[in-house]
Structure 1
Amino acid sequence: MEPGHNELRKRTMAKVAWRLIPFMILMFCVNFLDRVNIGFAALQMNRDLSLTPADYGFAAGILFVFYAGAEIPSNLILERVGARIWLARIMITWGLIAAANAFVYDKNSLYVLRMLLGLAEAGFFPGIMLYLIRWFPEEERAGAITLFMIGNPISVIFGAPLSTALLSLDQFFGLAGWQWMFVLEGLPAVVLGIVALWWLTERPSEANWLTPDEREWLTRQIELEGKAKQHTRLVKWSDVFTNGPTWILAFSKFCVLLAFFGVTLWMPQIVKSLGALSNAQAGLVTAIPYVFATVASIYVGKRSDRTGERGKHIAVPSIIGAGGFLVAGMINNPYIALLGLCIALSGLWIANTIFWTLPARILTGASAAAGIALINSVGNLGGFAGPYLAGWVRTYSAGFGIVLAILGGFLALSAVINFAVAYADDRRRAQALA
């Protein structure tokens, strides 16, 4: 690569990263916190609404069924109307519905609001993934996705103590602490949705905040990569429904998200089971595994970009994370169990972030919009299965040991699947070059 070309690449991608990634991290922080803050609300809400473990698990997970059902239509609409308008619409509507969760009065009204929240959020994550594919060339992509997705653990690192602190507003102006939490954590999404309308730029060719040579280089680079992926023969969006690797990746994503949301939406209660902790202390301790996950995912994501290898960088952390689940579930010492949770969350989050480089390698054009949405739709059914399975098992077992062992098993299964897909794609690419 010529020195001038390399300088242009670095300068362009630095501008793109500084423009888009911080705002997207903030978007994801707010989005994810609105998804999982029910786990902190449960410390008070379960008592107030008389929810059993199974009731709570169903309420926590039902969001993902409706999210998954509306995912592909939402992402196809995004493809037509543009990311700027559609992502803003998603954020505004989900923020209003998230705040409205404060006014549920029994398990059935909670189920309905969680269903509506899932419908409102549909298309957000795959829309962001499609947006990143349009702005970041493949050699920069894993790092960009990793940086964006640290919005997830960051939201818990700061959101856990914030959420438990808001619980202390119990009976302030006649509202319970969990009701204040839903209102005050839901409204920021509305503000960000309005800001997104003027901050986001649809495509590199429209970016007036880049110089002409930077716009031209980035536009050409993305177009060249799209042409290079034509060997996949996925021309129309409907082709993804008959594409084997897409369905395999979707099942792998299901396994990862089953484990991830199975532990995340129960984490405050799991942490409280480790010792006699107050709600505030549980919030602080809950944040610790996500600190480990953030650091580990950034390091492994950069290493994966540097080497260009994907399969092992997903599979090995997944296997180690599965071991962390077993340690957390089997060891009675609370400090060792917490260390196991740190290892488990780190492996989970590394797998969850670098994973998205795999569909980006085999999908392009309209098939990318539908394919990413399909993978995310099927995957997010794991977001229902994980919390509900955890609640059902918890009803018939003492403690969370069996729950954590089952979640670790699903993470290990995803490791095998992802490595096989990455290996097959490497061979296919080598044959195409030959």
Structure 2
Amino acid sequence: MQQTAAEKSTNAPEGEGTLRRISRRLMPLLCIMYLIAYIDRQNVSYAKLEMVDALGLSEAAYGLGASLFFLGYFLFEAPANMILAKVGARLWFARIMGTWGLITLALGFTQDATMFYVLRFLLGVAEAGFFPGVLYVLTLWYPQARRAQMVGWFMIASAIANAVGSLIGGALLELGGVAGLAGWQWVFLATGIPAMLLVPVVLMALPNRPDEARFLSAVDKAWLAAELAAEPRQALEGSAWRALIDPRVLLLAALYFGMPLGAYGLSYWLPTIVKGFGASNLQNGIINVIPWICVAFALWAVPRHAARHGATRWHIVAPMLIAAMALLGSVVLPGSAVKFACLCLAAAAVFAGQPMFWSVPQRLLTGAHAAAGLAAINSIGNLGGFVAQNAVPAVRDATGSNLAPMALLSVALAFSAAGFFLLLPRITNATRNA
């Protein structure tokens, strides 16, 4: 597959130097922010191991509370991203981190089910706009040829977050009784503080746009501006709100639905599955590092392969099919070790295609339309997380098996993979002809 003119220009020595400087200064901060956000989003999976009994909840009731995060996320994500486009990433990301940190701390003092439901919903409201906001910010800093790789690197932070969260989640549960607090309370308190501490760092270190970056020379800024200006423009006409009803945006959101359904259904339930294998809280945390190491490798390898050999729909479809088969294998194959190996493979595969998926709408939308459209796709698609965190415990309650819900996730991923295979070429062809 021959390189495009834009890719050749991006690979020129002066372009490589500029992109390296951007990556050194921008990506570590964005990745740390996402790492903390993901820990604060997923800490509930470890708090659950004690919190269910403490609050007297069923698995299904707890799943509802955990899933309300995604409802708040869905309702406020598009407006949040359009505000980001107006006020800039520095101020808006600092606001997001400060509010989600405060709400995470408040979760540590949850008194009953109602308070848990309200705070999980508010956590989704607080974090709304962060992930699609970063996707939008990357369109301001990187040419199209590099964005999928940068999304991959950014998403590796989620794998690291799950690994770190596994280690500290299990360890924090062991602090039960310290300062008169239960272990599940320490999970929320210890994971909420880092978000608060990072707010001043974001305000001081994150530029809104390349032209504000002190670490770029005038030559660097001119090169990047020329690169971005030379890219084909596919933006929709009119108000940014029109991106929310564009058929291509809605179709991409529907196709994306299966990815977070599988990802959150698996990551939310993994500690419960491992506990069912007979692991202690501390052992549970250590064991659950393994799947996320696999995820980090997959998020590095798949975008790298696509960049070297040319991106195709198979970079999205194949990982989803592998994940579907591995999840089914975790249910039907015998032996705890084999089941866990299947879950590790499924975790890696369910995340691996996401960077390549996000390169499609990043190519489709530009400017304010990108802020609105990326948020719409992420918010609608992430309702899969809402469904997963209700369906998984409901299947568990109905069957009595911790692994039976994985069959449901397998079917959802298989259907989503088929949709990508059949419909993605139509979307990309429509984009070229727009």
Please name the residue that 1:114 is paired with: 120
Q: Which amino acid aligns with 2:336?
A: P
Q: Which moved more, 1:413-422 or 1:353-362?
A: 413-422
Of residues 308, 313, 321, the one that matches 2:323 is: 321
Q: How far is 1:235 from its partner?
A: 4.3
| In structure 1, C-alpha distance between the alignment counterparts of 2:145 and 2:244, rounded to whole Å | 28
Please name the residue that 2:157 is paired with: 151
Unaligned runs of 5+ in 1: none
Are 1:367 and 2:373 an aligned pair?
no
Are 1:180 and 2:164 an aligned pair?
no
Please name the residue that 1:56 is paired with: 62
Of residues 204, 229, 233, the one that matches 2:233 is: 229
Are 1:250 and 2:253 an aligned pair?
yes
Q: How far is 1:291 from its partner?
A: 0.8
2:248–2:427 CA contact under 8 A, matched in 1: no
| In structure 2, C-alpha distance between the alignment counterparts of 1:25 and 1:381, rounded to whole Å | 23
Q: How far is 1:430 from its partner?
A: 6.3
Are 1:211 and 2:217 an aligned pair?
yes
Identity of counterpart residues, as a percentage? 36
1:234–1:364 CA contact under 8 A, matched in 2: no
Of residues 29, 40, 45, the one that matches 2:35 is: 29
Q: How far is 1:175 from its partner?
A: 0.5
2:66–2:389 CA contact under 8 A, matched in 1: yes
Please name the residue that 1:293 is paired with: 295
Are 1:240 and 2:246 an aligned pair?
no
| In structure 1, C-alpha distance between the alignment counterparts of 2:56 and 2:402, rounded to whole Å | 21
1:257 to 1:234, Cα distance in 2 relative to 1, 3 A: farther
1:293–1:349 CA contact under 8 A, matched in 2: yes
The alignment yields a C-alpha RMSD, in angstroms, of: 1.7
Q: Which amino acid aligns with 1:209?
A: F
Q: How far is 1:53 from its partner?
A: 0.7
1:384 to 1:425, Cα distance in 2 relative to 1, 3 A: closer
Q: Which amino acid aligns with 1:299?
A: A
1:104–1:110 CA contact under 8 A, matched in 2: yes
| In structure 1, C-alpha distance between the alignment counterparts of 2:9 and 2:168, rounded to whole Å | 48
| In structure 1, C-alpha distance between the alignment counterparts of 2:174 and 2:360, rounded to whole Å | 44
1:379 to 1:124, Cα distance in 2 relative to 1, 3 A: same
1:420 to 1:224, Cα distance in 2 relative to 1, 3 A: farther
Q: Which amino acid aligns with 1:137?
A: P
| In structure 1, C-alpha distance between the alignment counterparts of 2:115 and 2:9, rounded to whole Å | 61
TM-score of the aligned structures, taking structure 1 as reference length: 0.95
Secondary structure, counterpart of 2:104 in structure 1: helix
| In structure 1, C-alpha distance between the alignment counterparts of 2:10 and 2:103, rounded to whole Å | 50
Q: Which amino acid aligns with 2:39?
A: L
Secondary structure, counterpart of 2:178 in structure 1: coil
2:10–2:145 CA contact under 8 A, matched in 1: no
TM-score of the aligned structures, taking structure 2 as reference length: 0.95
Q: How far is 1:428 from its partner?
A: 4.4
| In structure 1, C-alpha distance between the alignment counterparts of 2:10 and 2:83, rounded to whole Å | 39
Are 1:140 and 2:140 an aligned pair?
no
1:330-345 matches, within 5 Å, as: 330-345=332-347
Q: Which amino acid aligns with 2:292?
A: Y
| In structure 1, C-alpha distance between the alignment counterparts of 2:312 and 2:238, rounded to whole Å | 25
CA-to-aligned-CA distance 1:44-63 (integer Å, 9 cap, x gap): 11111111110111111111
| In structure 2, C-alpha distance between the alignment counterparts of 1:291 and 1:270, rounded to whole Å | 18
| In structure 1, C-alpha distance between the alignment counterparts of 2:295 and 2:142, rounded to whole Å | 23
Q: How far is 1:4 from its partner?
A: 11
| In structure 2, C-alpha distance between the alignment counterparts of 1:411 and 1:234, rounded to whole Å | 34
2:236–2:369 CA contact under 8 A, matched in 1: no
1:192-207 matches, within 5 Å, as: 192-207=198-213
| In structure 1, C-alpha distance between the alignment counterparts of 2:169 and 2:301, rounded to whole Å | 28
Please name the residue that 1:407 is paired with: 409
Q: How far is 1:421 from its partner?
A: 4.4
1:283 to 1:98, Cα distance in 2 relative to 1, 3 A: same
2:265–2:385 CA contact under 8 A, matched in 1: yes
| In structure 2, C-alpha distance between the alignment counterparts of 1:133 and 1:307, rounded to whole Å | 22
Q: How far is 1:431 from its partner?
A: 5.8
1:32–1:152 CA contact under 8 A, matched in 2: yes
CA-to-aligned-CA distance 1:138-182 (integer Å, 9 cap, x gap): 111111000011110101112201111011110111100111121
Q: Which moved more, 1:4-13 or 1:141-150?
A: 4-13
1:245–1:421 CA contact under 8 A, matched in 2: no
Q: How far is 1:355 from its partner?
A: 1.4
1:251–1:379 CA contact under 8 A, matched in 2: yes
2:311–2:356 CA contact under 8 A, matched in 1: no
Q: How far is 1:236 from its partner?
A: 2.8
